[in-house]
Every structure is written in structure tokens, then in C-alpha cells.
Amino acid sequence: MYAVISDIHGNLEALEAVLADVPDGIAEIYCLGDVIGYGASPNECCELVRSYGMPVISGNHDLAVTDLSTDLAWFNPVAAAAIQWTRDQLNGENADFLRTRPRTLHEEGTLFVHGSVRDPDEYIINGAVARENLAVLEAEYPDVRVCFFGHTHVKTVAPSPNGPSPGSHDVLDLTGGPYLVNPGSVGQPRDGDTFASYVLAEDAQEGPRVAYRFVEYDVEKAQDKIRAAGLPGMLADRLAYGR
Ligand code: ZN
């Protein structure tokens, strides 16, 4: 069994709560990128990820912070302010680590990306984009049964293994496939949930089984640290809404 986490975004309180929730005996914790950006604890989050030896892919925020040639005009003003603040905070060792991660990890039967199969910066935000990426997945990675992706901060399984009715996120039997699975965000959920989320996955013979884990954490502490750091207040406010 392994775990998949994504979009930590410098939220140490959420990351610590998630890591405390990961059951003993988990072989590996994969991280789909955006370790930093938005939250007040970029170095601490980066060091925690490194201390676990997680396989990490780099997200757009990891690169925007650590690649100084990135044009911040592509980011909205709040994100750009957070990227600039994080650039000032992040130490050289952590910056080097995040800058040199791969953008895709392909292991037998499983693919890990930040944005989408065909573009690390694309948002898989609706059924049409999901279907297009499933087609690319089948053409380019015929062995892959599950592709884990992040970037949207929205928990997603496509196509829905429960049929058309929106079912609960208990253990999902992903027989057949391929499937696209977004574990949701550790540090800045945008689907209306205020708790951190991640997934546990198990490779069964018939196809992988995936279970969502929902983890409460000290939202107020994370908010206080964002405000005290002088980051845009909206970045603290939104954690209370999950938007
Ligand atoms: Zn993100």
C-alpha cells in the first residue's frame, strides 16, 4: 500500500496532520507537487517532505518560486505576491531540491503528474478535459491503470467508478480503467472542504483500490501564521471556506 498527497502549499499544520494520519507500514508517500507557495512554512514543509524521502514531482508553484526566470505576470496578483514572498524565504538547498524534481513519474501501472497527462500546467477541471487526457493516457501509457494528478485542489475520480450518482469516497475499486484520480489538496482545498485530504492506494490483481482520507488540522494556526508573515490576508481567509 502507498499514499499519494498533493498541493501542500507551505501549510505545515495540514502536512503534519496528514503525515500523522498515514498508517504504519505504508511503503511510499508520493507527492504530486506544489510543496510551497501560499502558505507560511515553505522551508519546514520542504524539509519534512525530504526527510520522508518522498518521490516528488515539481508543480507550477515549485518552479515559479525556484526558477527566477519565471514570468509572474502569468499568475494572479495574490499568487504572484505569495511566490515573491516564498522566494525570499526559501533556502538554497530546498530551492535546489524543488527545482530538480521530475515533472512526471511513471511506475509500473501507475503515472503521477501535477496537472494533466499531456501538460503539467493543465487543469483537469471538467469531464471533457478528463476524457481527452484519458485518451492520451491510453495511447501513450498503455500499461497505466491509474494516473494520479493534482493542481486543481479538487478531489476527483474520472470516470466515476460508482456510476452516475455521486457516491461517497470510501474504498474505490478501480478495476479496469484507466482512471484519473486527484487526492485533493493537503494545504489549500478548493472544493468547499476545509480539511486536508489524500489517498491510500493498493495494487490488487483486478485493479487498484483507492481510499480517500480526510484529515482535520489546526486551520486557525495556519491562518495566523499567514497573516503574521504579511502574506495576502485572502490566503488565510480562504482556508476557512475551502475555496
Ligand atoms: Zn497547487
What's the CATH number where 6 sits? Answer: 3.60.21.10
pLDDT digits (tens, 9 = 90+) for 114-140: 999 999 999 999 999 999 999 999 999
Domain range holding 30? 2-240
Which pTM does this prediction carry?
0.95
Q: How far is the CA of 6 from the centre of ligand 1 (A)?
A: 8
What is the per-residue DSSP string for 36-81?
SSSSS-HHHHHHHHHHTT--B---HHHHHHH-TT--GGGS-HHHHH
- Count of domains forming the chain: 1
Extract the C-alpha cell encoding 46. Answer: 520542504
Q: How far is the CA of 206 from the centre of ligand 1 (A)?
A: 32
Q: How far is the CA of 7 from the centre of ligand 1 (A)?
A: 5
Q: How far is the CA of 61 from the centre of ligand 1 (A)?
A: 7
10 Cβ contact partners less than 8 Å away, ≥ 6 residues apart: 35, 36, 37, 38, 39, 40, 41, 42, 45, 86, 187
Q: What pLDDT sits at residue 160?
A: 81
Q: How far is the CA of 115 from the centre of ligand 1 (A)?
A: 9
pLDDT digits (tens, 9 = 90+) for 85-119: 999 999 999 999 999 999 999 998 999 999 999 99
Give the whole-angstrom CA distance, residue 154 versus residue 158.
12
- Which residue stretches of the chain have pLDDT < 70? 162-170, 205-207
Residues paired with 181 in a beta bridge: 148, 157
Extract the C-alpha cell encoding 108. Answer: 509500473
Q: How far is the CA of 151 from the centre of ligand 1 (A)?
A: 5
Ion ligand 1, residue ranges at CB < 5 A: 7, 34
Residue at 114: amino acid letter: H
Q: How far is the CA of 131 from the centre of ligand 1 (A)?
A: 22
